[in-house]
Amino acid sequence: MGERQHEDPDLVTASHHDMLSSVLGSKEEAVSSIVYNYKHGFSGFAAMLTESKAHQIAESAYLLRPLKQKIERLYLNLSCDFMRERERERIHNVFKLPEVISVNRSRSVPLHTTRSWDYLGLGYEKPQSTGLLRRGNFGDGIIIGVVDSGRRIWPESRSFDDHGYGPVPSRWKGTCVDDSDISVDYRSPRDFQGHGTHTASTAAGSFVGNASFHGLGAGVARGGAPSARLAIYKACWAIGGCPDAAVLKAIDDAIHDGVDILSLSLSELLHPIFASIHAVAKGITVIFAGGNDGPVPQTISNDLPWVITVAASTIDRSFPTDIILGNGRTLVGQSMCYASSDPGYKELVPFGSCSVVPQYLTQLADKIVLCFDAAGETSLLLAGLTQAGARGAIIARFPRSLLPDCSGIACVLVDYDVGGQIANYAKVENASGRIPVVRVSPASNIVGNQVMSPRVAAFSSRGPSIYYPDLVKPDITAPGVDILAAVRDGYQFMSGTSMACPHVSGIAALLKVVHPHWSPAAIKSALVTTAHTANAYGFPIEAEGVPRKLADPFDFGGGHIDPNKAADPGLIYDKTPLTVWRTVTNVGDTDSIYRAMVESPPGVNTVVEPSLLLFNASTTTHTFAVTFTPLMMVQGDFNFGSLTWFDDGKHAVRIPIAVRVIIHDFISDTS
């Protein structure tokens, strides 16, 4: 994935053909072997080659790289699964090509599986002077590229109704692919899975009244930038996942087409995330989902410095559900049970772990079971209960926000205390010769400050980065739990950093309207430095896990996104090649004075020089240094602090600090 040596895309493609012709023996075979040509944003191609040929290309690239001063950088993404064994020897010729820097086998990456916008302060009623939604003109004129499983483009998806929109921006160079259905998936931007539909409508869906999931979460559904244009790039399929060759092609096309924002709710990317640097170099803000492998540390995905990596957190909405025992006592859990799923009173059958599927499943038909979930794995049991004809499941586990997928049966979550009370009721009833019964009522909606939020979701991947430990990742957290958005047949709740990512994409689109000349780094800086680390009551944001803890920068980066503050951050950090010295640009009042306030990480002395920044009409940027000195020569873990620049009270420009003291020639504590 390198710079193009030709401005003409046809010449770039011709160079790919010439290269492969020298290996495969003919131009016709070279043309037929290429799956994708990357010719707009960078140079490279994906080709169907044998493993031996791929090995030959890579070996040559490694040996010849020091000898070349100027190389046409090519990215070859090779799929070897469908090639005959007798062709393997042909790979060796490709390895000998000096134009090749790297050769990689094509992989597939997984998809990262509405109150949220009002919760973020982007309500429709906000005045233009203070609300980013109106200041940003609803995202009008901005093009958001979404790389995902596609989008349902037929008229039934009201979230994509473009009635009343003006002309397409003149800078748009792309074309729309005609829709053509095939049996399992759609060879077009049409979405078979629903994941891409959900993420696209979250970023820029139109206003849709009376949207709900069977009455839950009812209200107006919309995207963060409802007047922005959507360019959908389908790189994920029902069979085969998201091949990185297809993701690369989507990024390359998006660069050519003229998108302003690129939103990728995908994880475990390797080669495509490096290709994203070409998009950023063209002024495109690139936003990635951080992954759903939390709360384990060092699980963060898509962690390069030039992209925005997003964690997932909760919003101020919950779905309390009454659990009515046969003795008349009512307890409360959380569920997405709706009226038609109410099974009435049914026999209660308690047993142990939710991760163990009992052998007597067939005896659970028309009953409600109670189990205790310590491992976080309930999918096999729930699938078995549904197949067996059970009517419901009560799952007791350590408190967390994510509700399980219980399609087909009434399913409710409770904490261990409530689970123990239900189990004790069943024990007393059985000891008395009575059959314990229970009813799971339909859920209700609660919205507002009585729901403690935000909390970083347990599933949200955590830092630090394995590959780039000097970076604080993720960069920011955004709503990603129980998000209501469009799917194939209406509206549905989904959770994941996939849902958090398009929230940031929609906000970035609004910022691009208000500040059209901001670079991707400036947009990222505004989002990170204005994020908040406390909830509505002023308490520190928590991170879910076992047990819960106070969130730190490896959970949520700079904190929880605050769109309206990001529109007026005061100072912005633009990217520089240095890491110790940093440069800030004044985007606030012309005559401003900022003072540094440091919350030093424990065990470290932090000095900022200069600690006072004076801006005026002729001085709009300042450079400062931050020096860290350990107070104890002790091998340590990461500790956290922050640096905040304050002006006269209007702005507080905060960045997180993560420091680890490392003593050279000392065995590191890696436990």
Got the DSSP string for 408-434? TSEEEEE-HHHHHHHHHHHHHHHHTTP
CATH 3.30.750.200 fits domain 320-444: no
Do 521 and 224 form a contact (C-beta atoms < 8 A)?
Answer: no
Judged against a pLDDT cut of 60, whether residue 398 lies above it is answered with: yes
For residue 89, which of 45, 58, 46, 49 has the smallest C-alpha distance?
Answer: 49
- Per-residue pLDDT tens digits for 610-649: 999 999 999 999 999 998 888 766 666 788 999 999 998 8
CA–CA gap between residue 156 and residue 244 (Å, rounded): 31
Q: Architecture of domain 570-660 in CATH? A: Sandwich (2.60)
Query: In the predicted model, what is the mean pLDDT of residues 48-64?
Result: 55
pLDDT of residue 104: 58
> Which H helix or E strand runs over 502?
helix 497-514
3-state secondary structure of 33: helix
Q: What share of the chain is helix, strand, coil (3-state, %, to 5)?
A: 25, 30, 45
Q: Which residue has the tokens 């696209």?
A: 200
With CA atoms as reference, report the closest residue to 404 among 315, 335, 347.
Answer: 335
Cβ atoms of 565 and 611 within 8 Å: the answer is no
Q: How confident is the model at residue 102 (pLDDT cuts 50, 70, 90)?
A: low
Facing residues of 560 across strands? 477, 532
pLDDT digits (tens, 9 = 90+) for 158-185: 888 888 888 899 999 998 765 554 434 4
Indicate the residue type of 430.
N
Q: Could you tell me which of 147, 453, 148, 457 has the C-alpha nearest to residue 291?
A: 457
- In whole angstroms, give the CA distance from residue 514 to residue 141: 11
Q: How far apart are CA 252 and CA 235, in angstroms?
A: 12
115-316+453-553 matches 320-444 in fold = no
Look-up of token digits 């008349």 = 328
Backbone angles phi, psi at 305, to 5 degrees: -70, -25
At 290-338, the pLDDT tens digits run: 999 999 999 999 998 899 999 999 999 999 999 999 999 999 999 988 8
pLDDT digits (tens, 9 = 90+) for 550-607: 999 999 999 999 999 999 999 998 665 334 688 999 999 999 999 999 999 988 889 9
Euclidean distance between CA atoms 483 and 410, whole angstroms: 20
Other CB atoms within 10 A of residue 634 CB: 10
582 class by beta-carbon count within 10 Å (0-12 exposed, 13-18 middle, 19+ buried): middle
Show me where the domains of the chain are located: 9-106, 115-316+453-553, 320-444, 570-660
CATH superfamily of 115-316+453-553: Peptidase S8/S53 domain (3.40.50.200)
Instruction: Tell me the CB-side half-sphere exposure of residue 115, using CA atoms within 13 A.
Output: 21
657, 606 contact by CB (below 8 A)? yes
Question: Per-residue DSSP letters for 265-298?
Answer: -B-S-SHHHHHHHHHHHTT-EEEEE--S-TTSTT
CA gap 174, 256 in Å, rounded: 7
pLDDT top residue among 232 and 378: 232
Give per-residue burial for 601-626: e unless 16+ CB within 10 Å, then b. Answer: beebebebeeeebebeeeeeebebeb
CB-CB contact of 456 with 543 (8 Å): yes
User: Helix 244-257 and helix 271-281: axis angle, to 10°?
Assistant: 10
Per DSSP, 341 falls in state G
pLDDT tier at 17, thresholds 50, 70, 90? confident
Rg (CA), the chain: 27
- pLDDT band, residue 418 (cuts 50/70/90): very high
pLDDT in tens, 221-236: 999 999 999 999 988 7
List active site positions.
148, 195, 498
Give the residue with greater pLDDT, 433 vs 356.
Answer: 433
74: which 2 tokens? 């090519």
Q: How far apart are the first and last CA of the chain?
A: 37
Query: Other C-beta atoms within 10 Å of 514: how many?
Result: 15
Longest dimension (CA), the chain: 87
pLDDT tens readout for residues 199-224 = 999 999 999 988 888 888 888 899 99
DSSP 475: -
